[in-house]
Structure 1
């Protein structure tokens, strides 16, 4: 279940050192749910970047996309994540596209511990069908969109310090895998 990039295994400085932990990965992988539980286990604050964006904008993400477009949303996302990565320990769940932005990715890799939650496309499709709130999926085939996003984004997610599978298992199993990967107690 647990896989870490070779760099993380060779470089112990990439293990958790009380820096912010930033969860990255495709939509539906469980960043928010796993992030909340991980934060509880670590006794840290949890922040959902998408919720922070909505609060800052005074509107929902689908409304931001509809009214201003994806580029506007991504710029706001970049600014919010920059504000959240302030050196204090916390768990941050990002939106699926946040790590694609070069500036945001560089900031996360330099100032936080990036954890890529990775799941099979079939698992993601099942999860995203539960809610109709994702602008990139509106009126489209979720499997096709997720396959295309995975092809484009997985090479970028692979730059994360740690990679953990988030498949058909309880979220707690993913939390335990992250705790083991960051060297936190017996998990």
Structure 2
């Protein structure tokens, strides 16, 4: 039997599957799933779009960093972060030092297929949302590439199959999934 010794932090673009795959992975590992955006919404009692509008992105990013730090220091779990969280060097360093980051890498076409009909993506409320997604994708790739582990998404894989892929990647890290001593 193995147990989770460090929090697994799912990073990547909107539509990469961080929440869906993270939830399935947590179930497979028998640990709690947490979402940093949900934690911020609950604490602020307003949506992320409302926080951005009222207080601005720098305020939101500061709260996001506080929430990630608190969750990393808690009981090991699977943590999904917002697409912009891993752009912060301080967040990347904290995640690397305390937890392990897993980049769900998906190509632009797959991401677009997944997000194009969603109305919950404030960053894509632009005249040309596909071009906006492409610009975000290209700007963020160098940051995501700094993740501890990378797992490639594929349109023909189910959420459970992706979670299994992530679990297999975690097994390459003896400091993350630890064998229980009998």
State yes or no: 1:88 paired with 2:75: yes
Partner of 1:52: 39
2:114 to 127, 145, 160: 127
Q: What's the TM-score, normalizing by structure 1?
A: 0.85
1:177 to 165, 168, 181: 165
What RMSD over aligned residues (CA atoms) do the two structures have, in Å? 1.7
Partner of 1:66: 53
Flag structure 1 segments of 5+ consecutive residues without an equivalent.
1-15
Flag structure 2 segments of 5+ consecutive residues without an equivalent.
172-176
Q: What's the TM-score, normalizing by structure 2?
A: 0.88
Task: Give distance in 1, aligned partners of 2:28 and 2:160.
Answer: 10
Counterpart mapping for 1:107-146 below 5 A:
107-146=94-133
| 1:105-141 residue CA offsets vs partner (Å, 9 max, x unmatched) | 1100111010000111111111112321111111342
Any idea what SS the aligned residue of 1:114 has?
strand
Would the alpha carbon gap of residues 123 and 177 (structure 1) be closer, same or farther in structure 2, given more than 3 Å must change?
A: same
Structure 1 stretches (4+) deviating beyond 3 angstroms? none
| Alignment check: 8 A CA contact 1:24 1:96 kept | yes
Tell me the matched-pair count: 170
Any idea what SS the aligned residue of 1:130 has?
coil
